[in-house]
Structure 1
Amino acid sequence: MRRWGEEELIVGVYMDDLIITRARAEDIDGFKHEMAAHFKMSDLDALSYSLNIEVRQGKQSISLGQRAYVEKLLERGGIAECKPCATPMEERLKLSKHSTIAKVDATCYRSIIGGLCYLTHT
């Protein structure tokens, strides 16, 4: 690994995307220039969104959020307009084998649960 100054660059790789970070912008620019000499690439400038994580960069801080991802999950689940409640189910509900309610799409249900697991781990 080539060193840039006294600190090493941190490069995150996901599929065909690179996220490069370093305290000095000049070092990042030098790394990008060297990579462009070897590979066809485009520079999307400052990171703002990756892997369903919103990135907001200020002069002295970086904040991460997932509001848009949560809103997409709520919309896919059909509960985007619901209001919060202490018990998220109908009280005194009687269940029956002979229900006339349409069956739940298992693939959609699994997808939403997978999204909630991803949200929990990130």
Structure 2
Amino acid sequence: MSDLGELSYYLGIEVRQGKEALMLDQSTYASKLLEQSGMAECKSCVTPMEERLKLTKASTIVKVDATLYQSIIGGLRYLVHTRPDIVFTVDYVSRFMEDPQEDH
């Protein structure tokens, strides 16, 4: 075994170690995910989803690229390790991974 020093980055998670705390951060990973989804210029908000939003699988809107949608949702699922505030929203949009539409 060899000592590689303090952990600073692991699987997309930035690690900062202090005397009193260990901080995990995925801001770089989140930025890459926003770029991949075409939302790099979006504005941040306090709530990750519109309140009382009702989504349905029944839609007449043109279908989106299912592979890209599933990739983004997979990335969001990984992001919840350091962002528990988006768990409900990610779970909600994960329901449409089988047959994603452009707008529900």
TM bucket (normalised to shorter chain) is 0.5 to 0.7
Calculate the TM-score normalised by the size of structure 2.
Answer: 0.54
2:43 pairs, out of 51, 58, 83, with 83
Structure 1: unaligned runs, 5 residues or longer: 1-34, 37-42, 88-94
Amino acid at match of 2:75: G
Within a 5 Å distance, the mapping from 1:85-104 to structure 2 comes to: 104=64
> What is the distance in 2 between the residues matched to 1:118 and 1:68?
13
Calculate the TM-score normalised by the size of structure 1.
Answer: 0.47
What is the CA distance between 1:113 and its match in structure 2?
0.6
Runs of at least 4 residues off by over 4 Å: none
Amino acid at match of 2:64: V
> What is the distance in 2 between the residues matched to 1:75 and 1:65?
18
> What is the distance in 1 between the residues matched to 2:23 and 2:16?
5
Q: More relative contact order in 1 or in 2 (CA 8 Å, sep 6+)?
A: 2
> What is the distance in 2 between the residues matched to 1:74 and 1:48?
23
| Residue 46 (str. 1) matches residue 6 (str. 2) | yes
Aligned position for 1:58: 18
Within a 5 Å distance, the mapping from 1:1-122 to structure 2 comes to: 35-36=1-2, 43-84=3-44, 104-121=64-81
Aligned position for 1:31: none
More strand by share: 1
Q: Secondary structure at the match of 1:60?
A: coil
Indicate the RMSD between aligned Cα atoms, in angstroms: 2.5
What is the CA distance between 1:120 and its match in structure 2?
2.1
Structure 2: unaligned runs, 5 residues or longer: 51-58, 83-104
Amino acid at match of 1:47: L
